[in-house]
Structure 1
Amino acid sequence: MLKEFKNFIMTGNVIDLAVAVILAGAVGMVVTGFTNDIMMPIVGHFTGGVDFSDLKIVLSEAIVAADGTVEKPENAVMWGKWVNAIINLIIVGFVLFLIVKAYNKTKKPKEEKPAAPKGPTQEELLIEIRDELRKK
């Protein structure tokens, strides 16, 4: 059983999958950094310095004790974070679109296969068979 497990783990597909998962995590960090650290400040600049992640609708205020401890936390709909997520999705989608478009331009166009030589149709074959039978 241990030998079977070793063979399974050492196959190329499992190793390729492990590499893909690790790379996906690294790409995820790059994408998050790009959107949060580069694009969102630009979006915030054009929206008058608004940080969407702070926007919310407070349903019930936090209850704070006299000593400053929070007895009951604030209950709020954080709609600004949702707007940030949508903006991030649009930015990432657009960048991926540009990358795929550029990649598709680098690929060689597929050569069309020459059309197969056109043979006689079924009707022509039947006519030939009929004529041959008449000769006999």
Structure 2
Amino acid sequence: MWKEFKAFALKGNVLDLAIGVIIGAAFGKIVTSLVNDLLMPLIGLFMGGVNLTDLQFKYGDTVLKYGAFLQTVVDFFIVSFSIFLFVKGINKFKRKEDDPKPEAPPEPTKEEILLTEIRDLLKQR
């Protein structure tokens, strides 16, 4: 059972997935900081000092914090857009690496040369 687990855990796909999750979590923290510490204060400044997370609706003892929901939606769009740009850049870089260089046509074989000579002789007759 240990050998099977080791074979499963050390497969390339599982390792790639684990690395992707770790990098994604770290990247998510960076983007969250970007949104919370830079973008949202600027958006609040342009909106006249409004902080989205403070927006709420009270009805009796019930409080609907729709501002926190709006903040989460804005965070999601910024995170997904930044991940899209990151993946697009990586794919562009990969395509440059994967593009095969054009190769010169192969030299004709002896048989091809002989057949070409036979064809040319037949044309002359």
**Normalising by the residue count of structure 2, what TM-score does the alignment of the two structures yield?**
0.63
Q: From the two aligned structures, give the one with the greater helix fraction.
A: 2
Matches within 5 A, 1:24-103: 24-61=24-61, 75-96=62-83, 98-99=85-86
What's the CA shift string for 1:14-73, capped at 9, x where partnerless? 111111111111111111111111100000100111111011111223xxxxxxxxxxxx
Structure 2 Cα separation of the partners of residues 89 and 17 of structure 1: 22
The offset of 1:10, in angstroms, is 1.6
Helix, strand or coil at the partner of 1:30: helix
Structure 1 Cα separation of the partners of residues 11 and 91 of structure 2: 31
Structure 2 Cα separation of the partners of residues 37 and 5 of structure 1: 43
The alignment yields a C-alpha RMSD, in angstroms, of 2.6
Q: From the two aligned structures, give the one with the greater strand fraction.
A: 1
- Unaligned 5+ segments in structure 2 are 101-125
| Equivalent position amino acid for 2:14 in 1 | V
Aligned residues: 98
**Normalising by the residue count of structure 1, what TM-score does the alignment of the two structures yield?**
0.58
Structure 2 Cα separation of the partners of residues 33 and 89 of structure 1: 13
Aligned to 2:11: 11
Q: Greater Rg, structure 1 or structure 2? A: 1
Among all aligned residue pairs of Structure 1 and Structure 2, give the percentage whose two residues are the same amino acid. 41
The offset of 1:79, in angstroms, is 0.9
Structure 1 Cα separation of the partners of residues 45 and 11 of structure 2: 50
